[in-house]
Amino acid sequence: MVTKNNYISRGVDLSIPRELQLFIWRCMENLPELHDDVQIFELKQKGKLQRITHRTVEPDYRRNYDLSMEDPITQKIYVVEQKDFSTMLLASEA
């Protein structure tokens, strides 16, 4: 198994709580073997919960997570996978 390096953009570092960053990386680790190189994570407030919708285009994949968080945020995040590394960035930085 090849270990990948994970990187985050400045925008993610400044605006996404560390616990959400780590949760997204865990989602990436649990992906099926065949998956798209670009993962989309949509973060929204759902009542008092943080709703995270993880989706891809090819193959069609969608999974929702609801987390208890003190201050839920609204943001769209992309995780782009390369051969030896992955980068997490805000959609506004793409």
All structural domains of the chain: 5-93 (3.10.450.150)
Per-residue pLDDT reduced to its tens digit, 73-91: 999 999 999 888 999 999 9
Pairing between strand 5-8 and 61-68?
A: unpaired
Residue 39 to residues 18, 43, 61: CA-CA distances in angstroms?
18, 13, 10
Per-residue pLDDT reduced to its tens digit, 28-76: 988 877 678 899 999 999 999 999 999 988 888 899 999 999 999 999 9
> DSSP 3-state assignment of 17?
coil
List the 49-56 sheet strands across, edge first: 5-8, 85-90, 75-81, 38-46, 49-56, 61-68
d(CA 23, CA 29): 10
pLDDT of 15 reads: 97
pLDDT of 13 reads: 97
pLDDT of 1 reads: 39
